[in-house]
């Protein structure tokens, strides 16, 4: 019997391709050729499954080119690259990769917070440029992390991981805002206090964004929200590009409306707003919050388990639109 055909849209861990090949006829992209959306649709034609990453857009147009497609397994916890309604309408299952990256991503959120507060990259650039010729009392003086107020916008699993690190590791006063308030036992475990968005913006010394992207979170942080923040505050975005209005943020950083920012995600990435590249008080990383060797392997394994679980055994692990399963 011939094996079901699947597409792996980007280069991934070779062992993952080998594991998929045990069960499927795999068309892969180990050369990591950039495909346009049209080319992706063309490649998906005749496939029943797709292994996707957060940059592979699956919407009505790509789905129309792939009438046999039954599942797209994302190697990412975020899934704003999927048009879930269009997928559900066509009976295509969507899965993501939650949990396996929670602690690694929370570690990175904290790394970016620390680097921003203590001006790590700015001072390294100074040193590498050969400008360090003496001690001075205010050289790269930043803000304290321990004992300060940590604000978290979006209190899912990663937000809670950051809260625990701040409260228990650094004695921070943790406040958060979320669509819904956490259960009391979770709030207690994070030592976090629920506040409204205005209070969060006004009070936080370090504000970390960890909310999912959706049309309703588009530019959740723009010029008017930044204007509420303390001039000494730092803004950290490890969530998704588009949640922050990057042009407004660059202008606020230039005008010292806030002290600094640490960004791992950008509107329209991998392009970065040119003004962000010219302001010194921002730490910039290329969307690597989940990038450790074991975590990337665990994410690839979970996407693979979803494809095998659904296409071979009829049981996916982390369905996003489970209503497709009952049709």
- The catalytic residues are 240, 269, 287
Q: At its nearest, how many Å lie between ligand GLV and the CB of residue 22? A: 25
Which residue lies nearer to ligand GLV by CB, 130 or 215?
215
Which residue lies nearer to ligand GLV by CB, 73 or 77?
77
Which residue lies nearer to ligand GLV by CB, 108 or 170?
108
Q: At its nearest, how many Å lie between ligand GLV and the CB of residue 28? A: 20
- Give 61's contacts (C-beta < 8 A, 6+ positions apart): 37, 41
As a whole number of angstroms, the distance between CA 173 and CA 163 comes to 9
Which residue lies nearer to ligand GLV by CB, 78 or 222?
78
Which residue lies nearer to ligand GLV by CB, 12 or 76?
76
- Between the CA of residue 180 and those of 103, 153, 156, 183, 235, what are the distances in Å? 22, 11, 10, 9, 22
Rg (CA), the chain: 21
Q: At its nearest, how many Å lie between ligand GLV and the CB of residue 256? A: 30
Q: At its nearest, how many Å lie between ligand GLV and the CB of residue 214? A: 13
Q: Which residues bind ligand GLV (CB under 6 A)?
A: 54, 76-78, 101, 290
Q: Is residue 168 within 8 Å of 191, Cβ to Cβ?
A: yes
Which residue lies nearer to ligand GLV by CB, 40 or 77?
77
Q: At its nearest, how many Å lie between ligand GLV and the CB of residue 77? A: 4
Tell me the torsion sign for CA atoms 311, 313, 317, 321.
Answer: positive
Place of tokens 């803000």: 143
Q: At its nearest, how many Å lie between ligand GLV and the CB of residue 105? A: 7
């Amino acid at each position: 019997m011939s094996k079901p055909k699947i597409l792996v849209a980007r280069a991934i861990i070779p062992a993952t391709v080998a594991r998929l090949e045990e069960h499927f006829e795999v068309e892969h992209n180990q050369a990591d050729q950039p495909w346009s959306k049209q080319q992706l649709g063309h490649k998906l034609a005749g496939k029943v499954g797709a292994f996707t990453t957060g940059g592979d857009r699956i919407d009505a147009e790509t789905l129309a080119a792939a009438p046999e497609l039954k599942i797209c397994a994302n190697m990412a916890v975020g899934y704003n690259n999927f048009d879930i309604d269009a997928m559900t309408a066509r009976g295509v299952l969507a899965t993501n990769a939650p949990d396996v990256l929670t602690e690694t991503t929370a570690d990175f959120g904290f790394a970016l917070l620390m680097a921003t507060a203590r001006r790590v990259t700015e001072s390294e650039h100074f040193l590498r440029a050969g400008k360090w010729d003496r001690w001075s009392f205010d050289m790269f003086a930043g803000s304290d992390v321990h004992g300060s107020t940590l604000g978290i916008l979006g209190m899912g699993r990663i937000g809670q991981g950051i809260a625990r690190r701040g409260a228990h590791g650094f004695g921070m006063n943790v406040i958060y805002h979320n669509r819904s308030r956490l259960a009391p036992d979770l709030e207690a475990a994070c030592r976090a206090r629920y506040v409204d968005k205005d209070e969060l913006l006004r009070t936080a010394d370090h504000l970390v964004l960890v909310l999912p992207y959706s049309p309703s979170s588009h530019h959740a942080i723009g010029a008017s929200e930044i204007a509420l923040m303390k001039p000494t505050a730092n803004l950290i975005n490890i969530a998704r590009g588009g949640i922050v209005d990057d042009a407004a943020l660059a202008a606020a950083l230039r005008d010292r409306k806030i002290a600094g920012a640490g960004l791992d995600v950008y509107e329209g990435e991998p392009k970065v707003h040119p003004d962000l590249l010219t302001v010194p008080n921002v730490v910039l990383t290329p969307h690597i919050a989940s990038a450790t060797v074991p975590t990337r392997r665990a994410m690839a394994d979970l996407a693979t388990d979803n494809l095998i679980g659904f296409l071979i055994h009829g049981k996916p692990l982390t369905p996003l639109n489970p209503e497709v399963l009952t049709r």
